[in-house]
Amino acid sequence: MTRLFNDPDDFAAEMTAGFAAASARWVRAVPGGVVRSTAAAEPTVSLVVGGGSGHYPAFAGLVGPGLAHGAAMGNIFASPSTQQVHSVAATADQGRGVLLSYGNYAGDVLNFDAAQERLRTAGVDCRTLVVTDDVSSAGPQERDRRRGIAGDLTVFKVAGAACEAGHDLDDVERVARLANDRTRSLGVAFGGCTLPGAGEPLFDVPAGRMGVGLGIHGEPGIDEADVPTAAGLAGLLVDGLLAEVPDGAGARVVPILNGLGSVKYEELFVVYGAVHRLLTEAGCEVVDPEVGEFCTSFDMAGASLTLLWLDDTPGELEQLWSAPCDTPAFRRGRDAGQHAVTVPGGPGAAGTAPLPVPEAGPGSRECGTRIAAVLADVAAALDEHADEFGRLDRVAGDGDHGIGMQRGGRAARDAAADAAGRGAGAGTVLRRAGEAWGDRAGGASGAIWAGMLAALGTALGDDTAPDTARVAAGVSAAERAVERSGGAAVGDKTMVDAIVPFHRALAARSEAGDDLATAWAAAAREATTAAEATRELRARLGRARAHGDRSIGTPDPGAVSFALVVRTAGERLREAAEC
């Protein structure tokens, strides 16, 4: 239960501001998150981490000398937007390149990848290492599909120490990859978390039972079992992890017992005592253990065990893991940060001047105004259906699809109205709406909608009023953009299942000579039927993948919301055609 908040919509922003005020010794707030408030004596490679908020001390609490240089901070449980990641990384860059590192979640991957593209285009050498420590989220043959949970800490710490030691980007990436290869985690949940202002937890676990293989966004466990004793839990976690010792690992191991948000330290110590004993009995040498909160899931009741497997003799990994660091939430060694100097405050969260609107032809301007009106209707429809989408996403995802679409829809509505009011053409109105959507919504769907609106906007342009064929071509471009960025195909149970039939029907009707309103309405009906049909599918991508079977019987939230958006737009097009 989250008791202390003001307006729930402002929670993440107010939390960030308070955190920065309390942690000025280490960090300063910049648009999109925080960067270090200190500079090292010599420029180094910069490590930028991130993800949604709600996981403290991941991610902002790990910024400081010896660890990360910046953290992109999304809304609660929603990945940061592309612009947030880009802003933090561009500010943190010291001219020696940037390593982006984060948990392997669809929304994070989409947004960090897009930010990486932007940085590379601007000439910044940028690499990515996704953390994939959660053994419960995919089998050993599919390690690249696993989620990142508390193992974030080992990867970030090793990479941050390598940056501090002056390694070049190739080498920082290499050791980060090694740390990830040698890190495994497994967790359990006794109860779900309740987001600020929400009336109920994201999921429930029956009394006396626990979810095994938890996610850190309120995703329920993969299996369920009776709650064991502390020693029993230690046995389950240690056995689960000893079943998969990484290739090349020695017998020396760093255990990290992590509380998920509302398990007491004292309880964790009771469990840890048994973990330590069991590891030793299994022939492991325990090195430098940690017990506490390192990656939480709001106020979720649960715990996870992470093992970082070292070499048989103290070597590179161990040295980097135990090197000094000084951050708000994780410190070690006495001389960490001793050479760091506080840098004067850089750009704060100050507003920027509105972007100028490019010249547009009169037909395109008129169309821009109509698109702004469509987006206002879409925002209203998304407001109305937010709870329903949240419920659908809660079945096998993290429950935030309603809030995400609502935030994105409202931001798109406002940006479109602003651009149209300043005489923008159709293309610019859509592109600005897409940027605003992506920036405010975060998450997988935020990045996808941002990409779709941008592709459609580019295809429509600002010169003339687009005809049906150009709109159909624009929708095809949007569909290709989704498939390119997200890699989903029809049948994976994502919004692609609704987008593909929509674009095909629109293209066919347009070729047959239908007017836009008629063609669009027919295509929207196809999208609605296809979205409903995803009910039968098993999720193969996105957050829902780890709970694939659970998703059977419930349609994909992103497909259902896509169908609502195109239906709503269709109604406005019909009204416009009638008058």
Which residues lie near Mg ion (CB under 5 A)? 393, 397-398, 400-401
Q: Residue 487 touches which of Mg ion, ligand ADP, none (CB < 5 to 8 A by kind)?
A: ligand ADP
Near ligand ADP in 467-486, by CB under 6 A? 482, 486
Peptide linkage before 502 cis (omega within 30 of 0): no
H/E element, 291: strand 290-292
Nearer to Mg ion (CB atom), residue 398 or residue 526: 398
Residue type at 88 in one-letter notation: V
Among 71, 372, 488, 564, binds ligand ADP (CB under 6 A): 488
With a CB cutoff of 8 Å and minimum separation 6, the contacts of 501 are: 523, 526, 527, 529, 530
* Beta carbon of residue 250, minimum distance to ligand ADP (angstroms, whole number): 37
- 98 vs 119: CA distance, rounded Å: 9
Nearer to ligand ADP (CB atom), residue 67 or residue 531: 531
- 8 vs 10: CA distance, rounded Å: 5
Q: Residue 482 touches which of ligand ADP, Mg ion, none (CB < 5 to 8 A by kind)?
A: ligand ADP
Burial of 123 (0-12, 13-18, 19+ CB in 10 A): exposed
Look up tokens 């501090």; give the residue.
164
Active site residue 217: yes
Nearer to Mg ion (CB atom), residue 397 or residue 425: 397
Nearer to ligand ADP (CB atom), residue 261 or residue 397: 397
Among 196, 501, 558, 570, binds ligand ADP (CB under 6 A): 558
Peptide linkage before 289 cis (omega within 30 of 0): no
Residue type at 210 in one-letter notation: M
**Count of residues interacting with ligand ADP (CB under 6 A):** 27
Regarding 537 and contact with ligand ADP (CB under 6 A), the answer is no
Structure tokens at 430: 């859509």
Q: Residue 328 touches which of Mg ion, ligand ADP, none (CB < 5 to 8 A by kind)?
A: none
Q: Residue 107 touches which of ligand ADP, Mg ion, none (CB < 5 to 8 A by kind)?
A: ligand ADP
Number of helices and strands (H, E) in the chain?
16, 17
* Beta carbon of residue 110, minimum distance to ligand ADP (angstroms, whole number): 7
* Beta carbon of residue 56, minimum distance to ligand ADP (angstroms, whole number): 19
Near ligand ADP in 43-82, by CB under 6 A? 79
Q: What is the dihedral of CA 472, 473, 475, 480, to 10 degrees?
A: 150
- Cα distances (angstroms) measured from residue 155 to each of 151, 175, 275, 352, 530: 7, 8, 22, 35, 41
* Beta carbon of residue 558, minimum distance to Mg ion (angstroms, whole number): 8
Nearer to Mg ion (CB atom), residue 298 or residue 330: 298
Among 453, 556, 563, 564, binds ligand ADP (CB under 6 A): 556
Q: Residue 556 touches which of ligand ADP, Mg ion, none (CB < 5 to 8 A by kind)?
A: ligand ADP
Beta-bridged to residue 309, according to DSSP, are 253
Nearer to ligand ADP (CB atom), residue 28 or residue 503: 503
Q: How far is CA 126 from the centre of its chain?
A: 19
Which one is catalytic: 86, 167, 217, 385?
A: 217
- Cα distances (angstroms) measured from residue 552 to each of 262, 528, 536, 557: 31, 18, 6, 12
Structure tokens at 301: 């009741």
Regarding 494 and contact with ligand ADP (CB under 6 A), the answer is yes
Regarding 255 and contact with ligand ADP (CB under 6 A), the answer is no
Nearer to ligand ADP (CB atom), residue 55 or residue 167: 55
Contact 33, 86 (CB under 8 A): no
Beta-bridged to residue 129, according to DSSP, are 101
Residue type at 473 in one-letter notation: A
Among 263, 453, 478, 496, binds ligand ADP (CB under 6 A): 496
- 2 vs 300: CA distance, rounded Å: 10
Nearer to ligand ADP (CB atom), residue 91 or residue 561: 561
Region of 483 on the Ramachandran plot (φ > 0 left; ψ -120 to 50 alpha; else beta): alpha
Beta-bridged to residue 481, according to DSSP, are none
Q: Residue 537 touches which of Mg ion, ligand ADP, none (CB < 5 to 8 A by kind)?
A: none
Helix (H, G, I), strand (E, B) or coil at 467: coil
Contact 370, 420 (CB under 8 A): no
Q: Residue 451 touches which of Mg ion, ligand ADP, none (CB < 5 to 8 A by kind)?
A: none
Stretch that binds ligand ADP, among 15-23, 111-119, 441-449, 524-532 (CB under 6 A): 441-449
* Beta carbon of residue 531, minimum distance to ligand ADP (angstroms, whole number): 9
Among 33, 64, 97, 397, binds ligand ADP (CB under 6 A): 397
Among 557, 566, 572, 573, binds ligand ADP (CB under 6 A): 557
Q: Residue 211 touches which of ligand ADP, Mg ion, none (CB < 5 to 8 A by kind)?
A: none
Near ligand ADP in 364-393, by CB under 6 A? 393
- 576 vs 560: CA distance, rounded Å: 25
Contact 276, 288 (CB under 8 A): no
* Beta carbon of residue 246, minimum distance to ligand ADP (angstroms, whole number): 27
Instruction: By CB under 6 A, name the binding residues for ligand ADP.
Output: 79, 106-107, 393, 397-398, 400-401, 404, 443-445, 448, 482, 486-488, 494-496, 541-543, 556-559
Q: Which residues are catalytic?
A: 217
